[in-house]
Structure 1
């Protein structure tokens, strides 16, 4: 089996999956765009940067020529790669995996694969909780049941992802679980007691203090101000919480000002690159992810849990039913309900049962499980193709 994979750009969460697949099969990964450090800042990180871990090693890959007038990954026309057709035609591939369909490049690849009678699989994290205007929702209900049938297999990343495909009538026998994941071993190995003690000491956080992490862009859809408000409520109720923010963005000044106004002890770390994040999680006692439904998953929750930390997530986050429904691994609260968030913070799970449950969850939502799902999808496509050929031979 030789697999072609098309994705938008190098992503820190996808690279471990590609490496694992490269150990199992012959593949090549195509990137539609190479972001600049400035584009990373414009995407909401607040600072220009390059990732400090190698996202390209361990698997064959190449960047396609992006012909878009305004190249980027934040709009449909930002990735225009007509060369994918020739790459698929000449590459000797047996199947194509696309990581979504919201870019022109993906549709170019799907069309090219169809012309070559090549099975197409899709892996994405769309869910039904993302706010949509009525016209857009109506259009999707009319179009998506037919559109999604272009995919020979769909790889769902979690429960909300599966519900999305089923909502649009996608056949259940063509759905395969390939969970959203991080390299759990990598995070766990770096989230040490020494890392915890060192960062807490540098921030003057006492060992008896409860520290909650917020990791991500400081933008409206992630509701960082809700965490500050909830921490203040906890303090008023006699449970002091210190907030550690690893991130940057347009709401930075507002968050700092509100924390000062409410007397919440805030440790603002600014943007932290990938290699620095395990120490952040280790130093904290849990992670809060109060995002709106635009948070199609929330992979920082996987990161925190890989480091042995429970998570508190809003009910509109895509990962909520998978990573936080078990009360030993996390808490779920109503999006935008600051009182409910405060109650969840005060009820953070701890102890031996939590550590054991988090370890088990990290295995179920690990790189190996994601690769297993992709292999299962490929196997089902091969079987369908073989069955179709046998049927055609009988009829002729």
Structure 2
């Protein structure tokens, strides 16, 4: 954003992810191997919570210094990512009192809301509609499902701004350009014949991601010319290993955690990227990553980005979440029957989901 002449500063409520450490869902210690603080101004604010952590719910982030800075700061466009912490909620509630333009960027898809029932959901809807949303100037929607989520609360079109979820497309495309001449050697090192097809899964081995659905579908596919590489780590690894051993699946590779600088090698050799997630997968940014390598897609219909990033029969398909038979059939359509037209590629589609698109749209708010 700063490179595009949008003077930007980041305010951080925690340094947990910057420092790295034990990730509960991956189940391993993680330190990111790409720079996260280069090229822009930022501030870290003391967390005054009695149980300080992004993992400890609403009161896990209480940053009184940030709230004080809110009232000392000259008028600005302030973008708040969600309302699930005390600090974020209070910035949304109080920001307009100082004359700031308050923008909310939340990733909730309407399709997931239909599955949420009970009194807590009713209270949330009342709180958002009558207390929180009236205090927000602009709603930055990440995709079509997120947009209609806001529309379901009667948010007017002039308060809605497209701010798509994106990854660093330029970095991934540059990596692909370097790796492409070496794809044969990467396959050879993994023991995969040059003409065999490779399915890529990238994500945590957790229930939300439903990795066992993919293993079941791959078993049912039963094709000796297809491989499945599951990039990730997590609590379901033991169950996955038992399944692989029980069914003697020789052509499945569980990589373990792969950091950002190395993950491009797996995307580059893939013939199909699969995400079979259920509730809680509000978008699925690893889909964006894979698309920079021109990989066809097969996404569950509850993956939040499925309506935006898949053109049915062109660059991929969607399937009904948890439907292992349909997942297997669509894998067969893409890998064996070559049914995709590919007249619009994944790479061409993801070009519209970029940092530049975000910045261009935010400039209109200044």
For the criterion TM > 0.5, the same-fold answer is yes
Q: Distance in 1 between matches of 2:19 and 2:231?
A: 19
1:28 match? 9
Q: Distance in 2 between matches of 1:57 and 1:355?
A: 38
Shift of 1:308: 1.1
For residues 13-45 of structure 1, the C-alpha deviation after alignment (integer angstroms, 9 at most, x for no partner) is: xxxxxxx34532222110111116897533312
Shift of 1:316: 0.5
1:50 match? 31
Partner of residue 226 from structure 2, selected from 241, 253, 266: 241
For 1:140-219, list aligned pairs within 5 A. 140-146=124-130, 147-191=132-176, 192-219=179-206
Shift of 1:56: 0.9
For 1:317-328, list aligned pairs within 5 A. 317-328=303-314
Structure 2 unpaired stretches of 5+: none
Q: Is 1:296 the equivalent of 2:282?
A: yes
For residues 122-176 of structure 1, the C-alpha deviation after alignment (integer angstroms, 9 at most, x for no partner) is: 1121112334232233223333222212110001000110011011111122101
1:287 match? 273
Q: Distance in 2 between matches of 1:151 and 1:157?
A: 16
1:369 match? 357
Shift of 1:356: 4.6
TM-score normalised by the chain length of structure 2: 0.91
1:64 match? 45
2:30 partner SS: coil
Partner of residue 66 from structure 2, selected from 84, 102, 109: 84
1:16 match? none
The structure with the greater share of residues assigned to helix is: 1
RMSD: 2.1
Shift of 1:120: 0.2
1:252 match? 237
Q: Distance in 2 between matches of 1:246 and 1:213?
A: 7
Q: 1:344 to 1:144 in 2, by over 3 A?
A: same
TM-score normalised by the chain length of structure 1: 0.85
Structure 1 unpaired stretches of 5+: 1-19, 380-396
1:226 match? 213
Q: 1:24 to 1:89 in 2, by over 3 A?
A: same
Shift of 1:46: 1.8
Shift of 1:239: 6.3
Q: 1:145 to 1:325 in 2, by over 3 A?
A: farther
Q: 1:76 to 1:196 in 2, by over 3 A?
A: farther
Q: 1:34 to 1:99 in 2, by over 3 A?
A: same
